Amino acid sequence: MQYGRVYGLGSQAQAYEGMTSSGSSFASPSQDSSYSQQITALQAELEQVKKAQTDWQVQFQAQIQMQAQHNQLLDEMRKMREQLSEKEGATGDDESTDFE
């Protein structure tokens, strides 16, 4: 038994161009051409999926970075508010002694 070429689409799928046994062919030349076209189309679709996945990952990472910056700004604002409250509290104590 002889086997034709094997095309790999990652580790998930394989397509066989042709297979022969005892000199008789299981796949005609037109079927081979059709299989090759299908394989080419699947490979192109796989590349599109990979590109879309990469684009999604880039967008996701950008969103994570923006969220981290947002959280950092919120923390800085809280600290500034606490410092302002402490200063106002200290100033308020001084003013209350002035009125007495």
Q: What is the pLDDT of residues 18-64, one digit of tens each?
A: 444 444 456 688 888 899 999 999 999 999 999 999 999 999 999 99
Considering its fold, how many domains does the chain have in total?
Answer: 1
Contact in structure between 35 and 15 (CB atoms under 8 Å): yes
Q: Which of 11-15, 65-69, 70-74, 77-81 has the weakest average pLDDT?
A: 11-15
Q: Domain of residue 39: give its range.
A: 2-99
pTM: 0.47
Question: Contact at 8 Å (CB) between 32 and 17?
Answer: yes
Query: 28 φ, ψ to 5°?
Result: -75, 165
